[in-house]
Amino acid sequence: MQLRTTASVFGAALALAAATAFAGPLDKTECIAPAKPGGGFDLTCKLAQSGLMGGNYISDPMRVTYMPGGIGAVAYNAIVAQRPAENNTIVAFSGGSLLNLAQGKFGRYNVNDVRWVAAVGTDYGAIIVAENSPYKTLGDLVAAIKANPSKIVFGAGGTVGSQDWMKAALTAKAAGLDPRKMRFVAFEGGGEASTALQGGHVQVYSGDASEAEEQIKAGAKMRVLAVMSDKRLQGSLADVPTAKEQGLDVEWPIIRGFYVGPKVSDADYQVWVDTFDKMMATPEFAKLQAERGLFPFALTGAKLDAYVKQRVAEYAKEAADFGLNVAK
């Protein structure tokens, strides 16, 4: 009896060791949202969680953990320095993360220090006015800015150098105004900015298309003058022209996606890439994406890596042009 018990315990230990040794990247998965619960990073992780679980790409529910700080800086440093080889951990990133990387806000680490896996959707910048605004087109707004720059106040979430500030600065620059002389009021988030817009405290809100779409559906008295996309969007904003259509060469995609640590093996990295490719090709994923206010955008592997590095370089140039710090 004792021999059989010992043998069974020994066999179980061997089985556990084997299972641990051969645990793959899709076993006991975790997604790190580099912020508090709620918001864009949480949304991004929940999208992966729903898509992977619903499509049976993973057998165990994906765990979502929160690591706030610096629009992704704390999580980036933790993965690179402390957890570089965790093959079953993905980390959410956004266009704001890339903008901060371009400005050197992630400390000693740069865009080359992680492995970029997949972009799973995008939002776009938008130029928004109050419903009763006299400005009916982007051209009307530009004319008003040129006629009297001090009369037009931009409002948005974030301080100087943030995504929303950059959207306002690019709009002002394209209109012929020195961005450093534009009037800008920083709010804690889009909700406060839209309230200020509707109250007449600011004349323009440089926000996000999907956020504006949801707020308008909920009854906000606002109107979108332009979207900062390469072509018109689908859905309720389909009739809104792009900034380029109206003479301002401004685009601002806000991609959302994932990266893994720098020491994750090529084989495990490829498993993630292939899995996201399969998942994002399904109509079920498209529905999940739309439910979360994201527009279609799918890039993985080497193509995403090239895109991310190109965007960071572009952000660095734009930041330098506006007199902001850039990564060394």
Q: What's 145-188 look like in SS3?
A: HHHCHHHCEEEEECCCCCHHHHHHHHHHHHCCCCHHHCEEEEEC
Averaged pLDDT for residues 97-125: 94
Averaged pLDDT for residues 186-213: 87
Residue 11 within any structural domain of the chain? no
Give the pLDDT band of residue 188 (cuts 50, 70, 90): low
Task: Report the run of H or E that residue 3 belongs to, with start and end.
Answer: helix 2-21
Same domain, 238 and 264: no
Structure tokens at 101: 């990387």
Opening angle at CA 139, ends 137 and 141, nearest 5? 80
Same domain, 283 and 313: yes
Dist. CA 259–CA 202, nearest whole Å = 37
CA distance readout (Å), 230 to 38, 167, 227, 248, 277: 29, 15, 9, 12, 23
Nearest alpha carbon to residue 261 among 19, 30, 28 = 30
What φ, ψ does residue 164 adopt, rounded to 5°?
-65, -35
Nearest alpha carbon to residue 227 among 203, 214, 210 = 210
Same domain, 117 and 131: no
CB-CB neighbours of 52 under 10 Å: 21
Residue 234 within any structural domain of the chain? yes
Residue 252 has pLDDT above 90, yes or no: yes
Same domain, 242 and 129: yes
Higher pLDDT, 300 or 234: 300
Give the pLDDT band of residue 202 (cuts 50, 70, 90): very high
Place of tokens 């979360």: 292
- Residue 261, domain CATH: 3.40.190.150
pLDDT of residue 7: 47
Residue 9 within any structural domain of the chain? no
Tell me the residue range of the domain where 176 lies: 124-246
Give the pLDDT band of residue 37 (cuts 50, 70, 90): confident
Give the pLDDT band of residue 23 (cuts 50, 70, 90): low
Angle in degrees, 0-180, between the axes of helices 163-174 and 301-321, rounded to the nearest 10? 60
Residue that is last in its domain, among 211, 246, 281: 246
Averaged pLDDT for residues 130-140: 95
Averaged pLDDT for residues 268-282: 98
Same domain, 133 and 230: yes
Residue that is last in its domain, among 196, 225, 246: 246
Place of tokens 């928004």: 128
pLDDT of residue 11: 46
Averaged pLDDT for residues 238-267: 95
Residue 59 has pLDDT above 90, yes or no: no
Dist. CA 95–CA 256, nearest whole Å = 7
Averaged pLDDT for residues 149-175: 86
Same domain, 179 and 242: yes
Domain count, the chain: 2
Residue 7 within any structural domain of the chain? no
Residue that is last in its domain, among 246, 261, 294: 246
Residue 158 has pLDDT above 80, yes or no: no
The contacts of residue 42 (CB under 8 Å, 6+ apart) are 33, 35, 36, 64, 66
Same domain, 51 and 135: no
Averaged pLDDT for residues 234-257: 92
Same domain, 128 and 118: no
Same domain, 201 and 294: no
Same domain, 158 and 235: yes
Dist. CA 294–CA 144, nearest whole Å = 32
Same domain, 218 and 286: no
Q: What is the mean pLDDT of the chain?
A: 88
Same domain, 280 and 135: no
pLDDT of residue 213: 86
- Residue 213, domain CATH: 3.40.190.10
Residue 276 within any structural domain of the chain? yes
User: What share of the chain in percent tops pLDDT 70?
Assistant: 92
pLDDT of residue 35: 86
Residue 254 has pLDDT above 70, yes or no: yes
Residue 129 within any structural domain of the chain? yes
Nearest alpha carbon to residue 272 among 122, 119, 121, 123 = 119
Residue 21 within any structural domain of the chain? no
Dist. CA 272–CA 305, nearest whole Å = 14
Residue 156 within any structural domain of the chain? yes
* 3-state SS class at 10: helix
